[in-house]
Structure formats: C-alpha cells, structure tokens
Amino acid sequence: MRFFNTTGPVRSDKHYCIPPLSRLNLGEVMTLVRDERYFVLHAPRQTGKTSVLLALRDLLNGGSEGDYRCVYANVEAAQAVREDVERAMRVILGELAEWARTDLQDVFLDEHWPDILARFGDGALGAALTRWAEADPRPLVLLIDEIDSLIGDTLLAVLRQLRAGYIRRPEGFPQSIVLCGVRDVRDYRIHSSAEKAVVSGGSAFNIKARSLRLGDFSRTQVDSLLAQHSEETGQAFRPEAAERIWTQSQGQPWLVNALCAEACFWSERGRERSRPITEDDILEAQEQLIVRRETHLDQLADKLQEDRVRRVVEPLLSGGDEREPSARDIEYVRDLGLIAQHGALRIANPVYGEVVPRELTWAAQELLVEETAWYVDSEGGLDVEKLLGAFQAFFREHSEHWVDRFDYAEAGPQLLLQAFLQRIVNSGGRIEREYGLGRGRTDLLILWPRGGERTPPGSPVDRHVIECKVLHKSLERTIGEGLEQTAAYMDRCGSPAGHLIVFDRSEGKPWEEKIFRREESRDGRAITVWGM
C-alpha cells in the first residue's frame, strides 16, 4: 500500500505523488539543456526539488530526449569540512564518482579522481569535469543538489571552477549544469576567509542563464493526492476536510503530506478506512505536528533567530508598517518559504502562522501559571471577560519584565497576550490568528468547544474575537478604527462576542491613563474595549 511521503524523494511505487516533472515548465528546461545553458532551480526545503532532479536525470538518460549522460549528485556532505577546499573537492568528487557508477555504470571518475585530486588540489573539480567530458562523446549534464549548503571558500571554489570551465563545453566540460538549493545563486553572500571579503554569488557564477523556482502544489494537485488515497483505500475525505488541508497548507508539499499522513495513518481513528476523514481530524493532525515540533517545522522555527528573518517577521506580528523590511531581507525569507506575497506580505500559510507565535512564546507559556478552571463557566464555556480582566491585571504588573524577554520586542505585547491565551486554550480550545504587514492590527479568534476538551467532535463551538491594536494616533481614533475592524472580523467569523485591546506603549505615561475597560458597539454588535 502506498502512503503520504514526508521524508526524502518521492517514489511512485511507494508514495502518493504528483509526477515531479509536471511541476516544472519542462519545455523550458529542455530548451536550456539543449542550448547548453547553466541554470538554477531553487525552492524552500521539502518542496520536492530532489524528486524533480531525479526525474529529470531519468528522462535525460532514457534516450527519448536525446543521447545524454546525466548525473545527479548531492554535495551536502562537503559542508562538514567547511572551508577546507581540498578536502571538500575530495568529498564532492567521491560523490560524483559514486553517482556516475550507480546511475550510468560509468567508472571514469571512480578510477581517476584520486590522481586528479593529487595533481590539481583545490582545482580538482574543474580538471576532473574536463577529462570526464572528453572521455565520452555524449553530452554530459550535471545536476548538483544542495549547492548552497557549501560554506565560504568551498562554495566559491566550486562556483568559480564551473564558471572557468564554461567556455570548454560541451566537448571539454558538462554541456549543461543545474545548481539546486533553497536560494537563487544571485542571493548568496559568501564570506571568503582567504580573501577576507564578502563575494556575491552572482559575480562568482555570472554564467547563469535562468533561475527557476519550484512552486507549491496547486489546489488541483492537492485534490489529486487525496483522490489517490481514497481510490486505493476506499477512505474518503469530507469536502470540509479537503478544504481545510488546502487552506491550512496553501499547497506547501510537506505540509499537505504531513497533515494527511497524520490524519490517515498515525491517528487511530484515521486508520479506520470505513470512516471518512473529517475537518476535525485535520485540525487535530495540525496540532500534533506543531506540538511534536516535527523537524520541518522545527527547522523553520529555528530560522526565527536570524536577524534577517526577524526584520521581516517582527513587523508582520505587530501589524505595523512604520519600518518596512528591505527587499533583500524579504527575498531571503521568501526563499526560505516562510512568507508569501500576494498583494500584502504575509506568513506563507496558516500552519506556519500558528508555529511562529507559538515558537516565540514557548518559554513564556511554560513559565506562566494559569488554571483554566478559573475561566470556565458552569456550562463549560470560556469566560473571556474574566480571562481578559486577568490578563489586564497581569499586563500592568508584569509587562515590562516579560516584553523585554522576547527577541521580537516590537511585537512583545501581542506575543505576551498570545502566550497567556495559549496556556489557557491548550486544555481544549484553539486559537486562529491573522496578522501581516500594514494591517495595523492582530486578529485572534478563540474557538472553544462548550464543555472543553471532553466535548465530542462535531459539538457546538463558541467563537470569541479578540483584536489587538497598538496606539499610534489619538486614543479615540485608534478605538474608532479598531471598532470598525473588530465588527468586520466578528461578522466574517460569525462571532457574537468581540473584544478590542489597545496597547499603549507610550513611555512615561502612568498606568492609570493606560488601563481602562469600556463597552462600545458598532453595526449593532457589542464590543468590549480594553486599554493596556
């Protein structure tokens, strides 16, 4: 039986999959290969790059597209030797030799690379590729994976040797080379220890013809994966479950497969093939992936500590637009797959949008001590009035201490609120979040099953809207804008209960002026305004 794949390249005999080459403009790729071009394929991690490269290798070696000899090689192992260029050449040539031997039964490199390394040292890669190309009249195509895992002088040495050999192609060097990694080579900023300078990838590899980006799955492709599972197992996905998979993942390939694998194979309920997969199953799968800090999500969260990422994500979390990030920082974070830009800049998908604030507030959640029972009414509903009253008192007493703990201090008040709420809703509810650059607010929706965690799936759920704004203009103008936004969000969410929180970060202003609570209404909807 096939399954949803979350590790390594796809295999059609073992995994539900989208044909890898269908995700590319194959005509464009083949034109680049035939025209003896060197080009880049890049995409975020676990998007399917390696699967595409291996499928391209098989196509070129199959003879239908011409008499090529195509070799794939992953050079990530050379990362371990860092900037020791000669040792890196040894690793890279060894990898190329192994792949050529297993894929093409070509033993030229296997027999000659040690002698070439001994003779040419740091320049052995270029020399080996020249002799290898000359040894067989068939055009040589090289697919180099994880190129951006190489470090400093090692990466420069590889790029410069490929550039130097370019004029000898196709008789004396590979006809076409594909460099594959997370980022476009033009965006590399390579620190050379030998030159004591930063060198741009674009200057080190200025022979690049094109940069191709592998995108996420389309909605049709996601539906195709689900249909493969249903056809082979008889287990259906309810329409709302399929919709939730799409909305939460936005087609990110690892997320699509991980949500489905969790819901269909790792969940005890999901393994009952006579039972359809529901929206609740997908939401539970998402929570399990986040709580377990799956490697894909953990690696993404680890990037939040980088200054380039913080400069982009911090204004998104705060909803501000006073300090727009640089275009270069945006390009870097987009290449990581963390953000997307369809109109306004935003976190790439709701799962990542959930991971980011929870990761940034994880320590705070662990240290905050709150008992859920205090905020649950006699019918099992969540008493948000009592909850926000308690947070207001907590914020007044502890905010200066807590906000300074966050690396993302600009979004500190919003993060502290989310840590406080997350600690409560972990016992049975969940939070949906909306935030982004220039929104001027952060929208939170608490979904609380009446009866809490013991409520059966499918039972009625209470919906509580909380909108956060930072005071930048006059108080009344900020409240006026916030009431309009909160009422609109309540209408969209179908929530009868709305709360607007205004954080006043003015230095020197006494708490007596910042703290207040008042009842307002907008468009016939009652909204409680909290000043903090």
pLDDT in tens, 457-502: 667 889 999 999 999 889 999 999 999 999 999 999 999 989 999 9
Residue 61 and residue 197 in one domain: yes
- My answer on whether 207 and 254 are in the same domain is no
Same domain (yes/no): 179, 275: no
In a domain, 330, yes or no: no
Domain endpoint, select from 276, 292, 308: 292
Q: Which of 190-194, 238-242, 258-262, 340-344 has the lowest mean pLDDT?
A: 340-344
pLDDT for position 451: 65
CB 362 within 8 A of CB 348: no
Query: Are 180 and 46 part of one and the same domain?
Result: yes
Q: In 319-411, which residue ranges form alpha helices assigned H by DSSP?
A: 327-335, 350-360, 362-367, 384-403
Residue 67 lies in a domain: yes
Residue 6 maps to a domain: no
Domains in the chain: how many in total?
Answer: 3
* pLDDT on residue 267: 95
Domain encompassing residue 453: 362-531
Question: How large is the average pLDDT for residues 102-107?
Answer: 94
| pLDDT of 166 over the 80 cut | yes
- Indicate if 123 and 254 belong to the same structural domain: no
140 and 288 belong to one structural domain: no
Q: In what order do the strands lie in the sheet with 442-449?
A: 430-434, 442-449, 461-470, 497-503, 525-531, 516-522
CA dist list (Å): 17 to 6, 12, 50, 223, 398: 11, 6, 14, 11, 51
pTM above 0.85, yes or no: yes
Same domain assignment for residues 43 and 186 = yes
Q: Do 398 and 250 belong to one domain?
A: no
- Do 53 and 156 reside in the same domain of the chain? yes
The residues near 18 (Cβ < 8 Å, ≥ 6 apart) are 48, 217, 221, 224, 225
With cut-offs at 50, 70 and 90, classify the pLDDT of residue 68.
Answer: very high
Give yes or no: residues 166 and 267 share one domain. Answer: no
Q: Of 163, 195, 213, which one is at a domain's C-terminal end?
A: 213
Q: What is the DSSP string of 51-113?
A: HHHHHHHHHHHTSTT-S-EEEEEE-GGGGGGTT-HHHHHHHHHHHHHHHHHHHH---HHHHHH
Tell me if 304 is assigned to some domain. no
Reported confidence tier of residue 42, pLDDT bands at 50, 70, 90: very high
Q: Is the domain of 494 the same as that of 426?
A: yes
Q: Classify residue 250 as left (phi > 0), alpha (psi -120 to 50) or beta.
A: left
Give domain status of residue 4, yes or no.
no
CATH number at residue 74: 3.40.50.300
Average pLDDT of the chain, as a whole number: 92
Residue 402 lies in a domain: yes
The answer to whether residues 424 and 372 touch, using CB atoms and an 8 Å cutoff, is yes
pLDDT per residue over 370-379, tens digit each?
A: 666 778 888 8
Phi, psi (degrees; rounded to nearest 5) at 341? -140, 100
Whole-number Å distance between alpha carbons of 59 and 34: 13
* Residue 225 shares a structural domain with residue 268: yes
Within-domain flag for 181 = yes
The answer to whether residue 1 is domain-embedded is no
Which of 156, 179, 213 terminates a domain? The answer is 213
Indicate which CATH number applies to the domain containing 248: 1.10.8
